[in-house]
Structure 1
Amino acid sequence: MKLPLAGLFVTVAVACVLAGLSPAAQIVDTEDAPGTRAASPIYGVTLPEGYRQWPLIAPAEEGEPLDELRAVLGNPIAMEAYRKRQLPFPDGTVLVKLAWKRIPSSEFEPASVPGAATTVQVMVKDSRKFAGTGGWGFGRFVQGPPADEAQHQTCFACHQARVVGHDYVFTRYAR
């Protein structure tokens, strides 16, 4: 039985609030020395300070083969652009997607809850620095070894193929 969209929204929103206690907190920065941050290959994107306290833009659910629950968060510039329905997004926009394996809830059978964290993904808008990729830089951070360059090469290609008309951003604002 699939969880209705409203139930999914609540599940992911609660997971976001609890993110500081979830396994997602173990994905990055645990191996870095204090004051340093892991950077993505190709783009050099890092995880922004305090991103786990940013507002929720929207939840998402990814079916097979990933079978994930996701939450997309935005910095203040992103949130203002979403509220104004501003496209293209302005420079300084930062989007962060948290992802967890989806598992059945032990308390409520039709519901899904976050399981093990899978990735934290980041998009940074800087039209000069990332001119060759629609103005966006990408970061994909995983538990264990850093994601490799080949994985990052697929980021823009996928966004370009599917959402060029929405400034390369999949996520729509959940009002």
Structure 2
Amino acid sequence: MKRARIGLFAAVIASAIAAPLVFAEATKTPDSSAAAADSSSKASPIYGVTLPEGYRQWQLVAPATEGAPLNEIRAVVGNDIAIKAYKEGTLPFPDGTVLTKLAWKHVQSTELGSAAVPGAATTVQVMVKDSVKYKDSGGWGFGRFVNGQPVDVKQHETCLACHQSRVKDHDLVFTRWAP
């Protein structure tokens, strides 16, 4: 059991560093600011969040797994503002904080026995803190992307309600710092 957990943790860390090719195109955005609003088709509905440039090189905040029905391995990364806030225990998170969650299907390794490894990429989800722009949503803008494209409005409508109902006392952020 301990060996499996170590293998899973190693797989999550490795996947946070070495990205699957499906995400490579998604990191290229014309705007150099972190997840700036954009009126193009690359922006999320409702919030106008885009994929932040260079997010694949950001520091790991924490790995996670999700059981059925999603069965995913996840890695949350943050920009420099997010990392500083986590390290200092700053709540609420300051404006300019950007958190990005990358997710892959949870697959049994063919080489590592009982270990799990990332399979196909599923989504990239982004949270952007701007207390003025997103004042009606707790200061956060949300974006969900599959293959570099934002998903439909209906999926974005669930973001805020889920975060408000479950992590209101942690500035709407699920992920805790993994020391």
TM-score when normalising by structure 2? 0.88
Q: 1:60 to 1:24 in 2, by over 3 A?
A: farther
Q: What letter is aligned with 1:100?
A: W
Q: 1:98 to 1:68 in 2, by over 3 A?
A: same
| Aligned pairs, number | 169
Partner of 1:35: 30
Q: 1:29 to 1:89 in 2, by over 3 A?
A: closer
Structure 2: which 5+ residue stretches go unaligned? 32-39
Structure 1: which 5+ residue stretches go unaligned? none
* Runs of 4+ deviating beyond 3 Å: 26-30, 34-37
Q: Could you tell me the percent identity over the aligned residues?
A: 61
* Paired residue secondary structure (1:129): coil
Deviation for aligned residue 1:145: 5.8
Deviation for aligned residue 1:25: 1.6
Deviations 1:47-86, CA, capped at 9 Å, x for gaps = 1111100000000100000000000000000000000011
Worse-matched range after superposition: 96-105 or 139-148: 139-148
Name the Cα RMSD after superposition: 2.0
Q: Within 5 A, what are the aligned runs for 1:43-54?
A: 43-54=47-58
* Paired residue secondary structure (2:150): coil
Q: Residue 23 of structure 2 is aligned with which of 22, 25, 35?
A: 25
Q: In the aligned structure 1, how far is the partner of 2:94 from the partner of 2:149? A: 32
Deviations 1:119-143, CA, capped at 9 Å, x for gaps = 0000000001101111000000013
Q: 1:144 to 1:97 in 2, by over 3 A?
A: closer
* Contact map agreement 2:62 2:178 (CA 8 A) in 1: yes
Q: In the aligned structure 2, how far is the partner of 1:173 from the partner of 1:87? A: 13
Partner of 1:76: 80
* Paired residue secondary structure (2:127): strand
